[in-house]
A = this chain, B = another copy of it.
Amino acid sequence: MAEAAGVSQSTVSRALAGDTSISEPTRKRVIEAAARLNYQVDENAARLRRGRTGTLALVMICRPGQDRKDLNPFYFALLGSTCAAASARGYEVLVAFQDSPENFWGHYQERRKADGMVVIGTSENTAAWDYFGKLPEGTNWVCWGAPSEEFPWVRSDNQAGAMLATRHMLVRGYRSIVCIGSETSPQRQFKERFDGYAAAMQDAGLEPFLQRIERGLPREEQGRRAAAALIESGRPFDGIFGVSDEIALGALKELTSRGFRVPEDVGVVGFDGVRAGAWSIPPLTTVESDFEVAGSLLVDRLIAMIGGQEPSSRRVPVRLVVRGSTRA
Q: Which A residues have a C-beta under 8 Å from some C-beta of B?
A: 38-45, 47-48, 53, 55, 58, 60, 62, 68-69, 71, 73-74, 76-77, 79-81, 83-84, 87, 92-97, 103, 107, 110-113, 136, 275-276, 278-281, 291-292
Q: Which residues of B contact A76 (CB under 8 A)?
A: 71, 73, 76, 79-80
Q: List 14 A-B contacts (CB under 8 A).
A: A41-B111, A42-B112, A43-B44, A44-B53, A69-B77, A76-B76, A80-B97, A83-B95, A83-B96, A84-B97, A92-B113, A275-B276, A276-B276, A276-B278
Q: Are A48 and B38 in contact (CB under 8 A)?
A: no
Q: Which residues of B contact A41 (CB under 8 A)?
A: 111
CB proximity of A285 to chain B, nearest CB, Å: 16
Q: Which residues of B contact A275 (CB under 8 A)?
A: 69, 73, 275-276
With A40-B110, A43-B44, A68-B80 given, name 17 new contacts (CB 8 A).
Answer: A41-B111, A43-B111, A44-B53, A68-B81, A69-B73, A69-B291, A71-B76, A76-B79, A76-B80, A79-B79, A83-B95, A87-B96, A87-B97, A92-B94, A276-B276, A276-B278, A276-B279
* A186 to B266 CA separation, bound complex (whole angstroms): 46
Q: Are A96 and B97 in contact (CB under 8 A)?
A: no
Closest to A292 in B: B68
**A38 and B69 contact, Cβ closer than 8 Å, known pairs A80-B97, A275-B275:** no
CB proximity of A273 to chain B, nearest CB, Å: 8
Cross-chain contact of A39 among B44, B55, B94, B110 (Cβ < 8 A)? B110
Q: Which residues of B contact A69 (CB under 8 A)?
A: 73-74, 77, 275, 291
* A291 to B69 CA separation, bound complex (whole angstroms): 9
**A92 and B81 contact, Cβ closer than 8 Å, known pairs A40-B111, A69-B73, A276-B275:** no
* A62 to B69 CA separation, bound complex (whole angstroms): 19
**A95 and B93 contact, Cβ closer than 8 Å, known pairs A43-B113, A136-B38:** yes
Q: Which residues of B contact A74 (CB under 8 A)?
A: 69
Q: Which residues of B contact A111 (CB under 8 A)?
A: 40-43
CB proximity of A155 to chain B, nearest CB, Å: 18
Q: Are B68 and A84 in contact (CB under 8 A)?
A: yes
Closest to A53 in B: B44
Q: Which residues of B contact A278 (CB under 8 A)?
A: 276
Closest to A83 in B: B97
CB proximity of A31 to chain B, nearest CB, Å: 15
Q: Which residues of B contact A92 (CB under 8 A)?
A: 94, 96, 113
Q: Which residues of B contact A55 (CB under 8 A)?
A: 94
* A77 to B72 CA separation, bound complex (whole angstroms): 11
* A302 to B62 CA separation, bound complex (whole angstroms): 26
Cross-chain contact of A95 among B95, B103, B113, B276 (Cβ < 8 A)? B95
* A44 to B68 CA separation, bound complex (whole angstroms): 31
Q: Which residues of B contact A47 (CB under 8 A)?
A: 44
CB proximity of A38 to chain B, nearest CB, Å: 5
Q: Which residues of B contact A43 (CB under 8 A)?
A: 44, 111-113
Cross-chain contact of A48 among B39, B42, B103, B276 (Cβ < 8 A)? B42
CB proximity of A133 to chain B, nearest CB, Å: 16
